[in-house]
Amino acid sequence: MKLINQYTRREYTEDEVYTFSVVLCDNDIDRDFEQFSPEALEKLCELFVGKTGISDHDAKASNQIARIYDCRIEYPQNEYNSVGQPLVRLKATAYIPKDGNEEFIRSIDSGIKKEVSVGCSVSKRYCSVCGCDLTVDSCSHIKGKRYNTELCYHILKEPTDAYEWSFVAVPAQRGAGVIKSFDKGSRLSMEEVMKSLSSGGPVCLTSEEAALLTQKISSLEKEALLGKKYKEELIKKAVKASAFDEKLAGIILDAAPALSTTQLEKLHEYLSEKSDMCAPVVQLGKAKGKKQLNNKEYSI
């Protein structure tokens, strides 16, 4: 009761409060293919003390239903997570005033209110396959996919804040449930967003990531427009360089749109050389590489 009464305005007795234990999260791989490291769970153990419990992550004062007054880390013997590591879980104890909450207490006792999810922030996450620090760089691995039978998932480390915990219907973690948000500095890079889009699965983007993707698309559209104009200029140059052969010029005009810019550049270079070789000789011009000593070129 001493732990509980540090959060109350008056001294409550055991008869006035209802207490219960809840597993907030563990080190198993969740439905988002992410995992808290044991060190992260230890830090969250400190951060979640005193945090309020709400319903469905709807952060309204009217949705406050409980408060955590104690947290501890548990290491169940002979229990392992889905990747064979010893199971580590964060267990909390919370309280609710009995008066006015009889229905909610019955829903807990009957097992209706059971699954929970937590809202928190972490500053570091790593690739389980190559160990890449994804808050600094990106790698080629996509979480949820297997590489030589090894599942790729992101390891979450260094929690910076714990917001709240909530009763939900379907938590991200199978053992308890977890909803994670990342610090601004650790949001997805453009490369990771593109990899997520190419994976074929559902993608959930933050407003910042969506803005980043929109900016990237706009930039690509501008580059595509410049590329289109450059290609049109190459086609004109190629057709002009083939003017010595009218039939060839018509063929190039029809086929050029299907060629890449690199192919067009090579074609233009070749036709320019060919055009110089086929250029007509001007009678009054000086023969290349020779000294003009007389006018024999004009003798009949």
Residue 130 lies in a domain: yes
**Which residue type is seen at 177?**
G
- Residue-wise pLDDT tens for the chain (300 aa)? 888 888 888 999 989 998 888 888 899 998 889 999 999 999 999 999 999 888 766 666 667 888 999 999 989 888 899 889 999 989 888 998 999 889 888 888 887 777 888 888 899 999 999 999 998 888 989 989 999 889 999 999 999 998 888 877 665 555 553 334 444 444 455 555 665 565 555 555 555 566 677 777 888 888 888 888 888 888 888 788 777 777 777 887 788 788 888 888 888 788 787 766 665 555 555 555 555 555 555 555
Strand partners, 129: none
Euclidean distance between CA atoms 36 and 58, whole angstroms: 24
Euclidean distance between CA atoms 163 and 219, whole angstroms: 37
Q: Are residues 45 and 114 both part of a single domain?
A: yes
Euclidean distance between CA atoms 240 and 275, whole angstroms: 10
Residue 174 lies in a domain: yes
230 near 172, Cβ under 8 Å?
no
Query: Cα 143 from chain centroid?
Result: 10
- For residue 166, the SS3 value is strand
Question: What pTM was computed for the model?
Answer: 0.56
Residue 63 lies in a domain: yes
Q: Are residues 180 and 259 both part of a single domain?
A: no
Torsion sign (Cα): 165, 170, 174, 178: negative
165 near 53, Cβ under 8 Å?
yes
Q: Are residues 64 and 99 both part of a single domain?
A: yes
User: Residue 109's pLDDT is what?
Assistant: 83
Q: Are residues 8 and 149 both part of a single domain?
A: yes
Greatest Cα pair distance, the chain, in angstroms, is 130
Strand partners, 162: 120
Q: Which helix (H) or strand (E) holds 215?
A: helix 207-241
Tokens of 66: 């409980």
Residue 283 lies in a domain: no
> Structurally, how many domains does the chain consist of?
2
Q: Between vectors from CA 16 to CA 11 and to CA 17, what angle results, nearest 5°?
A: 95
User: Residue 46's pLDDT is what?
Assistant: 93
Residue 286 lies in a domain: no
The candidate with the shortest Cα–Cα distance to 138, out of 190, 209, 96, 214, is: 190
Q: Are residues 219 and 193 both part of a single domain?
A: no
Q: Which helix (H) or strand (E) holds 230?
A: helix 207-241
- Domain extent, residue 237, equals 212-277
